[in-house]
Structure 1
Amino acid sequence: MIAGILKEKNSETRVSLTPEVVKQLQQMSVTVWVEQDAGDASFYNDDAYMQSGAQIKTAGEILAQADVIFTLQPPSREVASQLAPGKIIIGVLQPLYHSAEVSYWASRNLTTFSLDTIPRTTRAQSMDVLSSQANIAGYKAVLLAAYSYSRYLPMFMTAAGSIAPAKVLILGAGVAGLQAIATARRLGAVVEVFDTRPAVKEEVMSLGAKFVEVEGAADASAAGGYAVEQSESYQQQQQKKIGESIARADIVITTAQIPGKPAPVLVTQPMLDQMRHGSVIVDLAAATGGNTSVTKNNETVHYKGVTIIGNSNLPAAMPADASKLYAKNVFNFLKLILTKEGGLDLNFEDDIVKGACITHNGEIVNERVKSLIPAASAI
C-alpha cells in the first residue's frame, strides 16, 4: 500500500504524519510518499522524512498513485477530482458542515474517513483528534489572551502598590476549557467556569476554579461529550448568569459548539456593553459562527474597548506538537484498517471504523451524517 501525505493549503501549518510515525508505517510494510515541503511549517523537513524511509513526490504523483491520501483539512474539489474511484481519504473532514462536499465524494466513489466522527469511547481515546487538538487550543487561547490583555494575570504586591489578579471566565468545560482553566490558574488568574453539564463540576473545582451553575440543563449524557441544545427557559437563565459573571471578567475564553449546527451565542451585545475597557475574549467557536454576537472568524474585532479574537484553529499556532499528537491519533486509527503485511482491511464490523467512515461504494454511509445532510445536497 502507498500512503500519501499532502501539503496543507492556506493558513494550515500542521502536517498529517510526522517522520516518527512514517518510520512506524515503514516497519509495517507501508510505502509512504510525502509531498515536497509538506512538513516545513511544522518544522519537519524533507530530510527528516527521507531518513525515516519516506519518498518525496509531487502532489500530482501522490494523487495519481497513492492508495490512501492523508490531509488535515477537507480536500478541495480540485484535489478530490484527481482521485480515482476507490481511493481513500483520511483527515478531519468536518462532514456535518460540508454537505455538498460529502455528496461529491460519494459521487466520485471515494472512501472517506473523518477522524472527528470517531465515537468518543474509552477504546477510541488514543485516536481522538478532537481531544488532542482541543487540549492545545485551550492552552494557546489563554496565552493569546494574556498577550493581548493590557494588565497582569497574577496578583502582585510591590513597593509601588498592589495589582489584583485578573478574572478569567471560561464558557465550556470540555477538553479545551479544562486546559484553559489549568493554564489560567498556573498564570495566577482567578477563574470562573460555566458549562451546561453538571457532571463536569468536580473536574472544574479540582483545577481550582469556581463552577457557575444554572439549574435545568438538558441531559447531555448521550451526546458523546458534546454540548446539546437547551430550552428557551434555560437559555434565559443561562444568559442572566453569564451576564453577571462577564461584567466582572477581564478575560473570557469561549469554547461552546454543537456538532452540525451554528455555535450558540452565549455572549450577547448587552453583555459586551457591560465589560470593562481592555477586556479580551478569545472565541474558539469562531468557525461555526462564534459564541459572541460580534465574532468574526480569523479576525480580531474591537468593540467598545473589548478585544474579540476569533480563532478556531489555534492548534496550528503550535504546529510541531499539534502534528505530533495528530499523527499518533492517525497511526492508532490506521492499525485498525491495516493488515500485518501493510495491506488494507476495512473492517466495518469495528464500531470505530464504521463510525469514522463517511462515504463508501458511492454512498454516504455514516448514519449521523446522513440524518443531517439532505439527500438532494448539491454536487
Structure 2
Amino acid sequence: MKSKWKRIFAVLLSVVMCFNLCGCWNSRELNTLAFVTSMGFDKTDTGILMTVQVFNPRAIASQKTVNETSVIVYTQEGKDILEMLRRMITQSPRKMNGTHLQTVIFGEDFAKDGISMVLDFFTREHQFRTDMYFAVAHGTTANNILKTQTKLETNPSNKLFSSLKSSDEIWAGNKAIKLIELVNAIVSDGNNAAITGVELTNPPQDKDNINALQRMEEDPVVIKNLAVFNKDKFVGWINEDECKGYNYLTGNVSETLGSAESKEVGKITMEVTHTDAKRRAAFVNGKPSINVEIHVDANIENVTGTYDITKEENLNKIEKLAAEKVESQCLGSLIRTKEYGCDIYGFGELIHRTYPQYWKTVKNNWSEEFRNLPVSVKVDYKILATGPQGNPFFEKENK
C-alpha cells in the first residue's frame, strides 16, 4: 500500500515540477535574425554614424555562384547605440544579433572624442562576447572600411579578424587587442591603451563590385600602424618599426623577422622564434627608472651576399647588428610615445607595484612624469641555427 502511494506522490511531484520549467521562452528562429560580423563608429555633426556588416544568407546558402557580396552593410545615425541597432529593423527584415561579432572599428575623429561609451555598451549588453578585436581606421572612416570587399575572404570581417590575429602572432608589427584587455588598459593607473590601425590602399571605385575587386593586385584593406590612446581618447600613431619596439618592450613578440645589415655583412634575415622581456623598476638619484632586458632567439633564414656565417666571430657580429636593430626599434617607440605623454608599456604599473608610496605622489601627473622617465634597454640576441647548408650555395662561384 505504501509503495502505491509513493508512486502516486512521485508522479504528482513530477507534474508539479514541470510547471517550473520555462523551456525555450526566449528562442529566436534563425531566419528572423541578422548576424552582425563587424561594427564601425564614426563621428558626425549631430552624433554617431554606426555601420554594421551582417551575413548575406542568400549568398552564403546558395549552391551556385552568385554575383553578390557575402555581407550586407547597414547604417544608422544617432546618439544611442542600442537605439540605432533596434532602429535598423526599419531597413532590415531581420533583427540584429551580435553573437557573431568579430571586429569593431573606430573612425579617427570618433576615437579622438573617446571610446568609453562604446566599450561600456559592449560590457553590459548580454548578446556580445568579449573576444572581438578592435581597430582604428587610419586615413579613412570606419564606414569606408566596412563597405569595402576583400579578396581572399568572402566575408570582410573574417579577413580583418584573421589578419589581426595572425599578424599579432607571427609579425609583431601591430597589437591585436580584445575587449577586456582594452578596458583594463583604459581604467588602470600607469598604463595606456594601444589599438592597431586599419587602412584602405588603392580601394576600388565601386567597393561592392566583385569584378572590380578581382582586377586589383592587392587587397584594399590592410593592417598598418598602431593607434596610441590617453585614457579612452586617441592621440596619435606609431609606425610599424615603432610598434615592433613596443611589442619587444612589453614581451609581446612570439614570432617575427629580424635582420642584420651592413656593408661588410650584406643583409641577413632571421626568423625570431622566441623572445623574453624582463622589466625592473629602480630608483636613481631619488627618481624612478626602468631597466628592460630583452632576450631574442633566432634562426638565419636568408643570406644576401657572400658573408661567411660559419665562423663564430662572424656570427657574433651578426648578433650584435641584430641586437642594435631591436634596440633602435625600442628607443624609437619610446621617443614617439613620450612625445604623446602616453605610457602604453605599463611602466607606471610596474613602478606602482614596486614603489607604491612613491606612486601616490606622481600618479595624477604620470603623463608628464613619463616624458622624463629614463628607460634603459639591453638586448641579448642569440642565433641558434644557420640552416643545413651553412654558407650560400653560390659562394664558391663568386670566389
- Shorter-chain TM-score: which interval? under 0.3
Q: TM-score, normalised by structure 1?
A: 0.26
Q: Which has the higher contact order (CA 8 A, sep 6+)?
A: 1
Which has the higher Rg, Structure 1 or Structure 2?
A: 2
Q: TM-score, normalised by structure 2?
A: 0.25
